[in-house]
Structures are given as structure tokens and as C-alpha cells.
Amino acid sequence: MSTWVNENSVTFFQLFCIKVVKCGRVPQHIAFIMDGNRRYAKKHRVQSSKGHSEGFNKLSETLKWCLDLGIPEVTVYAFSIENFKRTDEEVNGLMDLARDKFQRLLEEIDQINEWGVRLHVAGRLTLLPDDLRALVAKAMLLTRHNNKLRLNIAYSYTARDEITRAASQVIEGVRNKELTADDIDEDLLSETLELSPPDLLVRTSGEVRLSDFMLWQISDTVLYFTDVLWPEFTIWSLLAAIIHFQRHATEPKPDIDLSDRKRTFTDRLEDKRWQLLEKYVT
């Protein structure tokens, strides 16, 4: 039975190596394009659904490693809007896998809260089946006050859709006189997006494309590509990525400082998102 955070995923020697790596700068936000589940299934001559299930198991291990490293935010690309174009069998299998995993999360909610994991699902949730959308919304609501590790799952997501929705929200803000046209700038749009910029982005399976993932946010992000298939990703793969980050990272940018009017707008937008999630649950 797989859980959301694998509690026993490192040996004593691996924990020692984690402590050594932590002597250097550790990314505060790491993003993963978890590629290679289908190739893993083909390699091992099993159904693609088995590859996706193994991919989730690897995510649970990786979250524990990130907790051990003190990384407070992780974003994973789980399902693109483009993935809806795959065969009905595969899409339905992925929806069923998501139902099972979010239901499992709700069953483990006390453990999740004890670990301090906050779940955020970014994407066009209206494209999801009603029952899955309700599970997702409930999981987000029940973990919203946790603050040790924020797990962002990009599901039913593309970067272009995220940017389009943010632009529409800003236009609506001007129309409602919450903002003025002069308020529209890079900082405002950055704060209106669902996902924040990662320090490090890791893509597995040898692909060197971004596949419409966090296109706005990664202008200063260190990119790391590895040939390892996602289900075969190991703690050594993660530590290699972080060492790569330590070699290539520049000084972090200061936090965005919005004007009072812009901050009021983004705060209201966040409140509206929570209210929408509560409607999905009911």
C-alpha cells in the first residue's frame, strides 16, 4: 500500500550524504517534470497504468527526500491539458489513479497534517470529472494551514493556460475597478499566477523540452535534465541535481513588493479561489 510520503526511504549513509549537501545552498523550491512512466512500463513489459502507479510511488519517496533536505516547496507536472488527447483507456486510467491517490490522501490526512504537507493543485480544475474535482478540493482545504512542505501538483495544466487565466483575471480586476490599467506590470501578473518560480527544475527520461510547464516562472531557474526514467529516480539522482544547482545558481531575487491596491487584488483573488474550492466540495 503506497502512501503520499514514504517514511522509510533513506539509509544512514544516504542521510549522511544529505547532510553534506545541505552544507551548501539548497533550493527552496524544486519542480519536477516526471517523465518516463510509459517508457518504464514498456521497458518492464507491463501496462502503462503500472508505470504511472510506480511514478506515484516515486513521488512519495521524493517528497520524503525533500523533507529531509529541508526543501519547503515542490512542484510536479502530473497531467497536462494536452494529455486529454491520449487514448480514452489511458486517460480514464490516469483519472482512476488520481481518484485512488486523492482518496488515499484523505484517509491519511492525520499523517499528512503531522508531516506539515500542504497540497495545492494548479490547473483548469473544471476539466476534471466532478467526483475527482471534489476530492482534489477537499484535500486542498484540509491541508491549507500546513507549512512545512508545500506540494504543488500541476494537473489539467499548461503554462499557456495558466498565463491566459491570470491575464483574464487582471482584465476583470480593471473592469471591476479593483485595479487601474497602470497597475498592470510583470510583478502583478507573477503574483496572479497559481505557481511561484522554482529555483531548480528537474526533467527525467532524457527529454530536454519544457512541454508548456511554468514558462513564465523559469526565467532564472536552474535547469537539470537526466536520462533516468522517473520511476527509477533515486536519492542520488536528486542529490546530483542539487549539486548541479549549487554550481550554477545565481543570487536569489528579492521578494516582490506590491502596492497596497495590487496586494488587495491578489488577496481577494486568493479568497475567491478558496470559496470556489468549498463549492466543489458541496
- Residue spans of the domains in the chain: they are 22-281
Q: How far apart are CA 258 and CA 273, in angstroms?
A: 20
Among the listed residues 59, 67, 149, 200, the single catalytic one is: 149
Sole residue written with cell 531548480: 200
Which class for 121: exposed (0-12), middle (13-18), buried (19 or more C-beta within 10 A)?
buried
Give the CATH number of domain 22-281; options: 3.30.70.260, 3.30.930.10, 3.40.1180.10, 3.40.50.300.
Answer: 3.40.1180.10
Q: Are 3 and 111 in contact (CB under 8 A)?
A: yes
Q: How far apart are CA 134 and CA 50, in angstroms?
A: 25
Q: How far is residue 32 from each of residues 74, 78, 224, 265, measured CA to CA in Å?
A: 8, 9, 10, 30
How much is the pTM?
Answer: 0.94
Alpha-carbon radius of gyration of the chain: 19
pLDDT of residue 1: 40
Start-end of H helices in 108-145:
109-115, 130-142
Phi-psi sector, 123: left (phi>0), alpha (psi -120 to 50), beta? left
pLDDT of residue 269: 97
Query: Which parts of the chain register pLDDT below 70?
Result: 1-3, 5-9
Q: Are 250 and 35 in contact (CB under 8 A)?
A: no
pLDDT of residue 227: 97
Q: Could you tell me which of 222, 203, 207, 127 has the C-alpha nearest to residue 165?
A: 127
CB atoms within 10 A of CB 246: 16
Q: How far apart are CA 16 and CA 195, in angstroms?
A: 32
pLDDT of residue 160: 98
Residue 52 appears among annotated catalytic residues: yes
